[in-house]
Amino acid sequence: MTLIEKVNLMQGWLRKLEDIKEKRRKKEIDDIDVYNTLNEIIENNKNELISLNLLDVYEYSKEYYLLRIQ
């Protein structure tokens, strides 16, 4: 994978995360839905997120919403 391909993939994943956060801000989904969505994304795409060094970003976001749920 070239650096440009890696950057494009990273931007795609970060946009996906921003879309989820934006839906939450607009109250289209609640904290539980965000947590479940992030958890599903992590489970289904863990290897790719690890290779792009984005797993921690998704894990942090998931934990943030878990804390809001509690």
As a whole number of angstroms, the distance between CA 54 and CA 49 comes to 5
Decide: pTM greater than 0.85: yes
The pLDDT tens digits for 13-67 are 999 999 999 999 999 999 999 999 999 999 999 999 999 999 999 999 999 999 9
The set of residues, in sequence order, having a beta carbon less than 8 Å from that of 45 and lying 6+ positions away, is none
Give me the sign of the Cα torsion angle 40, 44, 45, 47. positive
